[in-house]
Amino acid sequence: MVLTLALVMMASGCGEKDGSTMTYEENGVTVENNIPEGSKDQWCPVGSSLTVSDPNTGEAYSMEIIGTEMVDGMRMCHAVYEANEPQEDISSVEYFWSENEENFIMIFYDSSENIVLEMKILDGTTTITSEDGSVNVMSEDGTITSTDKDGVVTKLNTGQ
């Protein structure tokens, strides 16, 4: 949740002037937000970054919008999150989102850069792939298809 909120704030340039860096401290935690010149009103402000550090614990994380990519035929903004202290075995996240914000992908990695979890919402279909290879797909019509790591498929129609 914090990641998503921070990315939305960073991408929208919340409270920032174009071409500025804002640094502030709250409860001993230092936050630095950078908005490159000419990017404030862009839907994917490449080079925007957010760094959060806590000198008391040594914990720090950073996020940066690194560009756009074509994913499944859609142009998506691409951001990278990295933490020096993994939380729940997550040390980095790749986050992609479409300009209309209706499609996104989040890929969570451990410290060895193995995928721990992948979540996608593309064209109304939600897909979650776990570290063990199991896949859950929920389509717009309410059909849920689960495939476990052994390839056993279970289907459920919620009748939405």
Residue 72 reports pLDDT greater than 60: yes
Q: What is the pLDDT of residues 104-152, one digit of tens each?
A: 999 999 989 999 999 999 999 999 999 999 999 999 888 999 999 898 9
30-44 in b/e form (b: 16+ CB < 10 A) is eeebbbbeebbebeb
* pLDDT, mean of residues 78-104: 91
For residues 110 and 148, membership in a common domain is answered with no
For residues 23 and 96, membership in a common domain is answered with yes
For residues 15 and 42, membership in a common domain is answered with yes
What is the CA angle 114-1-108, rounded to 5?
5
For 99, the domain range is 2-123
Give the span between the Cα atoms of 109 and 118, in whole angstroms.
9
For residues 103 and 138, membership in a common domain is answered with no
For residues 110 and 146, membership in a common domain is answered with no
What is the CA angle 69-103-128, rounded to 5?
100
For residues 66 and 101, membership in a common domain is answered with yes
* Residue pair 95/3 in contact by the 8 Å Cβ criterion: yes
For residues 110 and 131, membership in a common domain is answered with no
For residues 36 and 84, membership in a common domain is answered with yes
Tally of domains within the chain: 2
For residues 65 and 132, membership in a common domain is answered with no
For residues 158 and 109, membership in a common domain is answered with no
Q: What is the pLDDT of residues 12-55, one digit of tens each?
A: 444 445 678 889 888 889 999 998 888 877 899 999 999 999 88
For 148, the token pair is 């476990």
* pLDDT, mean of residues 68-96: 91
DSSP-assigned states of every residue in 30-95: EEEEEE-TT-TT-SS-TT-EEEEE-TTT--EEEEEEEEEEEETTEEEEEEEEEEEEEETTEEEEEE
For residues 65 and 104, membership in a common domain is answered with yes
Provide the whole-model pTM: 0.80
For residues 13 and 80, membership in a common domain is answered with yes
